[in-house]
Amino acid sequence: MENSRSGPTHLAEPGRHPDSDPSAFRIDSYLKQRAEFVERALDSVVASDGRPGAQLLEAMRYSLFAGGKRLRPILAIAACEAVGGDPADALGLACALEMIHTYSLIHDDLPCMDDDDLRRGRPTNHKVYGEAMATLAGDALLTDAFIVLARSHPNRASSAAVLDVVAELAQAAGSSGMVIGQALDILCEGKATDLATLEYLHARKTGALFLAAVRGGGLLGGGNPDQIDALTRYGRSIGLAFQVVDDVLDVEASADQLGKRTHKDDAHGKATYPALMGVAKSRQFARELKQRAIDALAAFDERARPLREIANFVVERSL
Amino acid sequence: MENSRSGPTHLAEPGRHPDSDPSAFRIDSYLKQRAEFVERALDSVVASDGRPGAQLLEAMRYSLFAGGKRLRPILAIAACEAVGGDPADALGLACALEMIHTYSLIHDDLPCMDDDDLRRGRPTNHKVYGEAMATLAGDALLTDAFIVLARSHPNRASSAAVLDVVAELAQAAGSSGMVIGQALDILCEGKATDLATLEYLHARKTGALFLAAVRGGGLLGGGNPDQIDALTRYGRSIGLAFQVVDDVLDVEASADQLGKRTHKDDAHGKATYPALMGVAKSRQFARELKQRAIDALAAFDERARPLREIANFVVERSL
């Protein structure tokens, strides 16, 4: 495995693969290494080459390299590793996920959507490049994501499997996934929303991409149907847990800590878990979801340790 | 072939396939039949099912069924037929092309882009559904296009070939294709532009999608490398010819005839072929490109007749 080179790039420190010494596993260094792995690939995939219109690439890179945690790509890689795959097998999907996530942030921040000026401590894309270029940068990141995935040629997955992952990723991001989630978010603004509606909305707005990450990573790593089923249950729980925690953070943290405007859900009249069930119950719910995610991985061996630790990380980062 | 059913739907009138009686071939009935074939498929692919957020699907369908000529999908199907494929083999790509073309029109019409109120004789998407929903409808059409293509399973093409077509389509639409073309269009507005720059811009803004249509159709129909090379030359010429003719139409026609605001290129300070080389020379250039397109198909038999006639149709519609 040390010398395999499938995908846009390869691991710089393959010797520090988590299963080489399980007792030494540290989630913080795992997250850091995998994030760097993804960032090197993104840097070569979305590269400015000095051709006319360089401003578009600059706008794409501005938001892509704004310091995200790369959680979706890392989940794809961890799921790929959990079924015995090489991190590089999921690298095309990992890049595609982060590009799609970034496009969604750029478009969500536009004046006609959430109208946000600040994201990860910096001015939002349209504040720097203007609305037209921000819209186009989002469009390009979304579109280019499918080039990267379609050209990734993982070792352990057939072309048919990659094609399935393309379809699942598009489904997670499109009119029955992330986009309908954002549309519902806008349509529900200021209206009384119950828990069932909120869960329906979040399963699409954030959950679908988390699910595509872990299912896709498993498929590209050559996972069998039982493993993919387990990853599906893990992915559903972790996606919802992430959103519940995000809502709690929005209520509790200051803008300084999060690097974006906080309490904005409340200001926009958006339904949140803390608003509907209170902060204490929201925390408890997030911990239940974390446990469900970990339980779903019962049949996996030590290679699923990163996935288990990520579930813990996602929930405990705030609570 | 009559009873084949690969793809979302099948031909309603397979007996009227053009090669059944070459002498009876009529381009107008060919275009009408193939457009209806694509429209039935689009109708089932982008279907409103009454779930929450139905307004998003409504906005997508509003622009998708606004009376376009379906030229890109028909080119994909005609290229597929030219190499001996069944029209249904290219149907997933055909739908994807029209969805991507439609998304680009919705986003181009936005206030932050070209700010147009009228498209195909009707109010533009954001005039009816608002800017947020129009942006999302475009995002969803672009994303869903990749579901349709990835799930199309043509008879004569391997999964690896479909994956190549996914990558080519994304490349044609993304940051080195249509999106950079639109970005350049905005960045060049009001500036002196020479012919070389204009050709560079149009090769991306419109040309890339035409090229992806004919190359993709050929690949999905099982075309050999020589055939794909010929289709590539045809696609380059026809794409540029289309744009030159579009520029001429914008200068000459009234808004009534085109169903959209005319002379808008001039009003926006955009470079056009008539502005740079005059109307008469633009017409001559379009006819030269048409001939180049037809010449590229010299090695094809009667099954390429639709492609030849489409080249003629595209150029002579205005001249």
> How many domains does chain A divide into?
1
Give phi and psi for A10, each to the nearest 5: -135, 165
Task: Choose the weakest-confidence range: A89-93, A192-196, B224-228.
Answer: A192-196
> What's the pLDDT band for B48 if we cut at 50, 70, 90?
confident
As a whole-number percent, the residues of chain A with pLDDT over 70 amount to: 87
Which residue is it, tokens 């790039």? A9
Q: How far is A319 from chain B (nearest CA, A)?
A: 32
pLDDT confidence of residue A2: 35
Q: Give the best residue of B56, B110, B175 to mutate against chain A (max A CB count within 10 A).
A: B175
Evaluate if residue A7 carries a pLDDT over 50: no
Least confident stretch, A59-63, A197-201, A238-242 = A197-201
Instruction: Determine, for residues A132 and B112 on separate chains, whether the beta-carbon distance falls below 8 Å.
Output: yes
**Residue A210 resides in a domain:** yes
In chain B, the residue whose alpha carbon lies closest to the alpha carbon of A169 is B147
Q: With contacts defined as CB-CB under 8 Å, which chain B residues touch A187?
A: 52-53, 55
What are the φ/ψ torsions at residue B122 (nearest 5 degrees)?
A: -130, 160
Give the span between the Cα atoms of A291 and A316, in whole angstroms: 12
Number of H helices, E strands in chain B: 15, 2
- CB contact (8 A) between residue B55 and residue A142: no
Query: ipTM of the assembly?
Result: 0.91
If contacts are CB pairs under 8 Å, which of residues 151-190 in chain B contact chain A? Answer: 151, 158-160, 162-164, 166-167, 169-171, 173-175, 179-180, 182-184, 186-187
Residue B12: inside a domain, yes or no? no
Instruction: Give the range of the structural domain holding residue B217, as residue numbers without chain letter.
Output: 24-316
Domain presence at residue B1: no
CB atoms within 10 A of CB B89: 29
Does B17 reside within a domain? Answer: no
Q: Which of A56, A18, A21, A78 lies closest to A210, judged by CA? A: A78
The encoded tokens of residue A290 equal 């974390």
pLDDT in tens, B1-20: 333 334 443 333 433 454 45
**Contact A166/B163, CB-based, under 8 Å?**
yes
Beta bridge partners of B292: none
Residue A144 to residue B46, Cβ atoms within 8 A: no
Cβ of A140 within 8 Å of Cβ of B175? The answer is yes
What confidence category does residue B73 fall into, taking pLDDT thresholds of 50, 70 and 90?
Answer: very high
Distance CA A37, CA A54 (A): 25
Residue A137 lies inside a defined structural domain of this protein: yes
Residues 6+ apart with CB under 8 A from B43: B65
Which pTM does this prediction carry?
Answer: 0.91
Contact yes or no for B136 and A56 at CB 8 A: no
Q: What is the pLDDT of residue B2?
A: 35
pLDDT tens sequence across A174-193: 999 999 999 999 888 888 78
Q: What pLDDT is attached to residue B269?
A: 67
Those of residues 92-151 in A touching chain B at CB distance below 8 A are 103, 107, 110, 112-113, 130-133, 135-136, 138-147, 150-151
Dist. CA B208–CA B72, nearest whole Å: 11
Q: Dump strand ranges (E) for chain A.
A: 118-119, 122-123
User: To the nearest whole angstrom, how far is the Cα of B141 from the nearest Cα of chain A?
Assistant: 8
Instruction: Tell me which H or E stretch contains B123.
Output: strand B122-123
pLDDT of residue B270: 77
The answer to whether position A18 is within a domain reads: no
Give me the DSSP letters along B148-210.
Answer: HHHT---TTS-HHHHHHHHHHHHHHHSTTTHHHHHHHHHHHTTS---HHHHHHHHIIIIIHHH
CB contact burial B178-189 (16+ within 10 A = b; e otherwise): bbbbbbbbbbbe
Provide the chain A residues 214-253 that lie in CB contact (below 8 A) with chain B. none
Q: Quick check: is A234 in a domain?
A: yes
Look at residue A318 in the predicted model and tell me its pLDDT: 59
Which amino acid appears at position A74 of this protein?
Answer: I
Cβ–Cβ < 8 Å for A240, A282: no
Residue with tokens 């995610």: A293
Could you identify the residue written with the tokens 């420190």?
Answer: A13
Element (H, E) at B227: helix B225-252
Give me the pLDDT at residue A159, please. Answer: 96
pLDDT of B131-185, one tens digit each? 999 999 999 999 999 999 999 989 989 999 999 999 999 999 999 999 999 999 9
Preferred mutation among B147, B185, B189, B205 to probe A, highest tally of A CBs within 10 A = B147
Q: Which helix (H) or strand (E) holds A162?
A: helix A159-173
> What is the average pLDDT value for chain A, to the nearest integer?
89
The answer to whether position B262 is within a domain reads: yes
Q: How many angstroms separate the CA atoms of A305 and A309, rounded? A: 6
The CATH number of the domain holding residue B43 is 1.10.600.10
E strand map for A37-168? 118-119, 122-123
DSSP 3-state of B140: helix
Tokens, residue B80: 């597929």
> Is A258 an interface residue toward B (CB < 8 Å)?
no
Please state, in angstroms and rounded to a whole number, the distance separating the CA atoms of residues B92 and A166.
14
Distance set, CA A180 to CA A7, A195, A308, B129 (Å)? 31, 18, 30, 15
Element at B119 (helix H, strand E): strand B118-119
Note whether A167 contacts B159, CB cutoff 8 Å: no
Contact call for B139 and A113, based on CB within 8 A: no
Considering only the beta carbons, identify the residue of A131, A144, A179 that sits closest to B139.
A179
Q: Helix B125-150 vs helix B159-173: angle between axes, to the nearest 10 degrees?
A: 150
Contacts 24+ apart (CB under 8 A), B294-298: B296/B230, B296/B231, B296/B233, B296/B234, B296/B237, B297/B82, B297/B230, B297/B234, B298/B230
